[in-house]
Amino acid sequence: MQQRWMRYSLEGLIGFGTLEGDRVHEHRGELFGEHEPTGRVFALADAQVLMPTQPSKVVAMWNNFGELRTKLKLALPEEPLYLLKAPNSWAAHGDPIREPRTPAKVVFEGELGIVIGKRCSAVPEDQALAHVFGYTCGNDVTVADILFRDASFAQWTRAKGLDTFCPLGPVVATGLDPDTLRVKTLLDGQVRQDYPISDMTFPVQRLVSLISFDMTLLPGDVILCGTSVGVGSMRPGSVVEVEIDGIGRLANRYGAPGDRP
């Protein structure tokens, strides 16, 4: 069953529920456990959208799409290549993405996020999807000119770990077939990325399984699947939107004060 789950702040309280059109249907209980509808329904516009999950970690993939690998002339990886995004980097739909304190080239990377629903440790591939709750949109923001500035050490954590450099949301969608999805990234209304998830080197179930043999994945954790061609720079004031059919559109303004996008 396809549903779109969201977390929100309303009247000073944090809650969660399903989004149907522009109306939120409140639930009580635990998003990744037992829950039930309360019967309360309110307009989305009346609430503040929060990150759709509270992860213990966000795992971000590198070199996981064939088209980008061909463009960059990279070798086919034998296993998932990934890093962790720091908790200070997480941001919700509508939150501003802060500029670095020193001038830098900052790029967007629109991605599909896998949201874990059940504790997952050393799970075989044929059982991995049973541990997936749903999917969300992510923007793996990166300071491109930091990455390889020091020839002796690739600075993945620093380049991708600045404050607000991991927007997620606006919802977690359940009941989707990830192989049918496309990721679109728009910069100031212009499509810059439009690529299929079916081009992933390591599909969802294999990613979840292999990573779970390295580290325990907990309910709410997110795996960002990596990005493809079309990554580009942002300028202060730009609005970046990551759109995936069935999930929605994650929108964040980069580096300038003003209204939420």
Q: In this structure, what token pair is assigned to residue 93? A: 């739909």
Contact between 149 and 168 under an 8 Å Cβ cutoff? The reply is no
Distance CA 239, CA 134 (A): 26
Distance CA 134, CA 154 (A): 32
Alpha helices in the chain (DSSP H): 66-72, 144-147, 156-160, 204-214
> 141: helix, coil or strand?
coil
* pTM listed for this prediction: 0.96
SS3 percent helix, strand, coil of the chain, rounded to 5, is 20, 45, 40
- The residues spanned by each domain of the chain are 1-50, 51-253
CATH architecture of 1-50: Roll (2.30)
What CATH superfamily is the domain 51-253?
Fumarylacetoacetase-like, C-terminal domain (3.90.850.10)
Instruction: Of 259, 198, 252, give the one whose Cα is nearest residue 51.
Output: 252
Q: What is the largest CA-CA distance in the chain?
A: 58
Q: In the chain, which stretches have pLDDT less than 70?
A: 256-261
Give the 3-state secondary structure of 72-113. HCCCCCCCCEEEEECHHHEEECCCCECCCCCCCCEEECEEEE
Residue 200 gets which letter from DSSP? B
Confidence at residue 256, expressed as pLDDT on a 0 to 100 scale: 63
Confidence at residue 114, expressed as pLDDT on a 0 to 100 scale: 98
